[in-house]
Structure formats: C-alpha cells, structure tokens
Amino acid sequence: MSQNFEDGSAPFGDNIKDLKAGKDLKDLKEFKDLKKSKVEKDKVIKDDSKKKQKNKKKKREFKFDTFIHRVLRQVHPQINITRQGMTVMNDLVCNAFIQVAEEAGRLVKLDNRDTLHARDVNASVRLVLPGELAGHSNDEGEAALHHFEQFQKTKNQQNL
C-alpha cells in the first residue's frame, strides 16, 4: 500500500506496476536527487568537523610533578607522596601559577605596556598570595633571578 496525499494521488504512482511502466519516474528521480543531496550535505559537515579536529591544537597541560618531588626530597627525604596527593599538589601549583599570571597580565594592561617585568610579577604575587607566603615567594623569586643573571654573565664571559 502506498501513502496517498490529500488530493488522492500517491507520491510515486499507485503501485509498483506503475513505477515499472514508467509513470511518475520524474518524482522518483527527484526523490533520489533529494536523498543524494542530503547525504552529500551530511558528508560535507562530517568532513569539516574532522578537519577542525585535526587543526585544533591540544591544550597544553602544566605539570609540576618533578619539581614538587624535588622539593619534597629536599624538605623531607624519607617521606613519599601518592599519585592522588601529587595530583592535588599539581592542581594547587597550577591554579596559583594561573592566578599570578592573569593578575600580572592585568597589571601590564593597566599600564598600557606590552612587556611583562619582574615588578609586575612581584606585585601580582603580593595581590594573589596571602600574608607571609607572598613575601617568601618574592624573596625566592628574586634569589632565583639573581642566580640566573650571574650564570648568564659567567656564560657570556666564557664565550668571549
């Protein structure tokens, strides 16, 4: 049985004999063309999504696991840390890093500059981290910066 429209006509003839006889072949061809165009559109959409996925860069993850482990070994050589504990510590360090970096970026933008300076990082650390932690972290950062500058000077003197 074929489905009839309101005017009593069937979409592709009244029965299969009519189709074999060539009646309503135009409607059948239009239906097939319509079906093909829908399939092609679906393929195009799928191909575009695959291209976007290939071009999309993977978001970089920060991992401080090795550094956390080094500090733990310096402070408490006999204590180990579980994988879950390391994940928690890594998340804490990543969150602190992101907050300090965002705040430093805001400070640079407020001064209408394009370059991030050490004083911007110092100020952002003082704004983000609480109390004595900010002071200690700034002291450690200045010491590391001084050590790096000394290393660069000795390296440049050896190359001359």
Q: Are residues 116 and 51 in the same domain?
A: no
Residue 29 covered by a domain: yes
Regarding whether 80 and 155 lie in a shared domain, the answer is yes
Which pLDDT does position 7 carry in this prediction? 53
Q: In this structure, is residue 65 part of a structural domain?
A: no
Same domain, 50 and 82: no
- Per the CB < 8 A criterion, the answer to whether 100 and 125 are in contact is yes
Residues 103 and 47 in one domain: no
Whether 64 is covered by a domain: the verdict is no
What's the CATH number where 94 sits? Answer: 1.10.20.10
Segment 101-118, tens digit of pLDDT = 999 999 999 999 999 998
Q: Quick check: 86 and 70 in contact, CB under 8 A?
A: no
Range of 86's domain?
76-159
Q: What is the mean pLDDT of residues 63-91?
A: 94
Q: What's the structural domain count of the chain?
A: 2
Q: What is the C-alpha to C-alpha distance for residues 158 and 13, in angstroms, rounded to an integer?
A: 93
Kindly tell me if the per-residue pLDDT of 19 is higher than 50.
no
Residue 8 in any domain: the answer is no
Contact status, residue 2 vs residue 31, Cβ threshold 8 Å: no
In this structure, the answer to whether residues 28 and 89 fall within a common structural domain is no
Name the H helices within 80-130: 83-110, 118-128
Return the sign of the alpha-carbon dihedral for residues 22, 26, 31, 33.
Answer: positive
Residue 90, domain member (yes or no) = yes
pLDDT tens, 21-41?
Answer: 554 555 556 656 655 665 555
pLDDT score of 75 more than 90? yes
pTM over 0.75: no
